[in-house]
Structure 1
Amino acid sequence: MKRDDEFDLNLLPVVLAIAEERSVSRAAERLGWSQPKVSIALNKLRVALDDPLFVRGSHGMAPTPRAEALIAPTRDILLRVKTEVLASAAFDPASTTRRFTFALSDIGEMTFLPKLLAYLQTHAPNATVRSVTLPPEAIAEGLEAGDIDLAVGYFPDLKARNFFQQRLFTHTFISLLNAKHRIKGPRISMDDFLRIGHAVISAEGRSQEIFEQLLTRHRIERRIVLSTPHFMSIPFIIASTDLLVTVPYAVGESFARIANIRLIEPPLEIPNFDLRQHWHRKYHKDAANTWIRGVLAKLFSA
């Protein structure tokens, strides 16, 4: 008999097919093989196991005791492969207790989490959410390791071939002023933009850099009065000062709902940017990952 590491496990379905069909030709039909191929496989099994395995009898091919001993474990192995390996893992959002982890900036949290959490409370009430803010290389590692399910927002570094992405919607920028500010109208002039004091946010999120790079290309230098890494203090600062700040549009809309500020168009055309969800190709077919991607696409696709 061959050593265990030399035995061809692909031959086991032949044992089960012949045992249940009692015929080499019918076993070939069941397996979708040619009859000579089944005969060759049976001969390989006979050599490997040093046993005839099946002999002709009055009711067709009858298994020997050695073959009889193989039938039950072979049936169990093939059933487990079919149900546990080949079958797609089911995912039931209504009963899941899974924790979904998203790579989000703080403005990403403001944009995505309220609607997402409201949806999960209804459709996946036992699921939980974790938000992380990490450097780009750590996000890529987390997606590959499965520690992060999705990176959602503006992540221009996630372009390697191992990552998939889906555009959710296109975004732009808006400026904010105190609602009682002396500057009126729907758009601020370039003269006023250069004259006024600015608050600048230097957060870890990458979207803000689009606006900063645009100003650099146009050689526009503002009068920066405040530089901060935090978004959440901005609406209260703008509402109580004469400063102007420029932020992603969804953030500006949110701030306008919680503080006495108003939206005003910047003095130059700002290119739009896409907010996307990103995932690693390892989890492209994962049932839970597929479901949560579908939820985000449903809630936020333009």
Structure 2
Amino acid sequence: MDNLRKLDLNLLLTLDTLLKDPNVTRAARSLNLSQPTVSVQLAKLRKNFDDPLFLPGPRGMRPTARAELLRAPLGQALALLNKAVSAPGPFVPAESNHTWQVVAADYCETTVLLPLLRNLRREAPGTRVAVVENANSHIAQAGGKDKVDLFFHIVEESPPGMRCRMLFSERYVLVSRVGHPLLKSAPTLKQFLELDFVIISPDGAGFWGNTDRVLADMRLARKVVLSVPHFMFAVFTIATTDLVGMLPLRLVRDNPQLQYFVPPIDIPGFEMNMLWHEYLHREPSHKWLRDLIVQSLGEEEES
């Protein structure tokens, strides 16, 4: 590195040009410089390398042995440097073999990633997606991992300093299996409180949620008899037992085994967001994936 500090990059560009065509006049024309300027730069190069670099020959200048040793590595280094500082080319989905890593709970696997996969497999069949599940208590750690391309969460529990795009608004509905003996129609508040509930607790073993907070403000309580960490297990449980749940509408609206009702109390919904690191914001493949997710969700709503 000490040797690099002594050299001006422009000198190396001049040397590379002279190695390709050892003629000061033509090199000056190629570099858009004056001939005296190139001659001065050649003099500096000779001093830095302690070598003449080019000697007079019968047909013009001829590279010395030291200059010949520099030819290949210098050309490769300048090509790599030029590639590093050039603007990235357009992302071509059909030719990509990129692997994306996303952080998502099973709710988002169903409501965000499943609609995406249909388009992704068609437009970028060589790409892969790795889904990493994270509990709410660990979501900040996930956001700090450089390998994570995207994660999906609510803004209130998301890491600071992340780029964010709202994907959709969600609301809660009361869900039971079709043919539930106590739910022929939307229940009254009294009937609601008599039902046996399953609750989703991503951090594990919790028996308290948004519904319970609303009821507590009314000095009421429901019966929560099962706490599970995953949405899909709650869905399966509701579909095969007489337990009911307060679940996001998108998760259950197309399930023929389930029925849902507007609950007798007003439960706040949430906004699902897509989040990513600032350093990925302008990366072409990343931007393409984000746009495809939004497009896929729009198509899902229209169908």
Q: TM-score normalised to the size of structure 1?
A: 0.72
Superposition deviation, residue 247 in structure 1: 0.7
Quick check: 190-199 or 103-112, which moved more? 190-199
Say if 2:266 is the partner of 1:269.
Answer: yes
Q: Residue by residue, what CA displacement relative to the aligned partner does 1:19-42 show, whole Å, maximum 9, x if unpaired? A: 768348646636xxx999878766
Q: Counterparts of 1:129 and 1:147 in 2: how far apart (Å)?
A: 12
Decide whether aligned partners of structure 1 residues 283 and 35 sit closer, same or farther in structure 2, where only a CA change above 3 A counts.
farther
Q: Residue by residue, what CA displacement relative to the aligned partner does 1:90-119 show, whole Å, maximum 9, x if unpaired? A: 654334444433211122222123322222
Superposition deviation, residue 246 in structure 1: 0.6
The aligned amino acid for 1:279 is W
The aligned amino acid for 2:189 is M
Match of 1:193?
Answer: 192
| Alignment map for 1:208-219 (pairs within 5 Å) | 211-212=210-211, 214-215=213-214, 218-219=217-218
Conserved 8 A contact 1:99-1:130: yes
What is the aligned length? 290
Indicate the SS of the match to 2:168.
Answer: strand
Decide whether aligned partners of structure 1 residues 282 and 62 sit closer, same or farther in structure 2, where only a CA change above 3 A counts.
same
The aligned amino acid for 2:32 is E
Match of 1:48?
Answer: 48
Match of 2:247?
Answer: 247
Q: Counterparts of 2:218 and 2:224 in 1: how far apart (Å)?
A: 18
Q: Counterparts of 1:225 and 1:138 in 2: how far apart (Å)?
A: 25
Say if 2:297 is the partner of 1:295.
Answer: no
Indicate the SS of the match to 2:117.
Answer: helix
Structure 1 unpaired stretches of 5+ = none
The aligned amino acid for 1:299 is S
Q: Counterparts of 1:140 and 1:14 in 2: how far apart (Å)?
A: 50
Superposition deviation, residue 169 in structure 1: 1.4
Q: Residue by residue, what CA displacement relative to the aligned partner does 1:249-280 show, whole Å, maximum 9, x if unpaired? A: 111314xx241x32111223333422122222
Q: Counterparts of 1:236 and 1:269 in 2: how far apart (Å)?
A: 25
The aligned amino acid for 2:289 is I
Conserved 8 A contact 1:197-1:225: yes
Conserved 8 A contact 1:18-1:27: no
Say if 2:128 is the partner of 1:131.
Answer: no
Conserved 8 A contact 2:195-2:222: yes
Conserved 8 A contact 2:192-2:264: yes
| Alignment map for 1:1-302 (pairs within 5 Å) | 4-8=3-7, 10=9, 11-16=11-16, 22-23=24-25, 26=29, 29=32, 44-50=44-50, 65=64, 70=70, 73-83=73-83, 86-88=86-88, 91-135=91-135, 139-142=139-142, 144-154=144-154, 156-161=156-161, 163-180=162-179, 181-183=181-183, 185=185, 188-204=187-203, 211-212=210-211, 214-215=213-214, 218-219=217-218, 221-229=220-228, 230-235=230-235, 237-239=237-239, 243-254=243-254, 257-259=255-257, 261-300=258-297
The aligned amino acid for 1:102 is V
Superposition deviation, residue 9 in structure 1: 5.1
Decide whether aligned partners of structure 1 residues 212 and 139 sit closer, same or farther in structure 2, where only a CA change above 3 A counts.
same
The aligned amino acid for 2:14 is V
Superposition deviation, residue 189 in structure 1: 3.6
Q: TM-score normalised to the size of structure 2?
A: 0.72
Decide whether aligned partners of structure 1 residues 69 and 130 sit closer, same or farther in structure 2, where only a CA change above 3 A counts.
closer
Superposition deviation, residue 240 in structure 1: 5.8
Q: Counterparts of 1:51 and 1:197 in 2: how far apart (Å)?
A: 88
Q: Counterparts of 1:219 and 1:98 in 2: how far apart (Å)?
A: 52
Decide whether aligned partners of structure 1 residues 40 and 281 sit closer, same or farther in structure 2, where only a CA change above 3 A counts.
farther
Identity among equivalent pairs (%): 26
The aligned amino acid for 1:130 is A
What's the Cα RMSD here? 4.2
Conserved 8 A contact 2:24-2:38: no
Q: Counterparts of 2:71 and 2:80 in 1: how far apart (Å)?
A: 14
The aligned amino acid for 2:275 is H
Decide whether aligned partners of structure 1 residues 217 and 283 sit closer, same or farther in structure 2, where only a CA change above 3 A counts.
farther
The aligned amino acid for 1:29 is N
Q: Counterparts of 1:146 and 1:111 in 2: how far apart (Å)?
A: 25
The aligned amino acid for 2:265 is L
Structure 2 unpaired stretches of 5+ = none
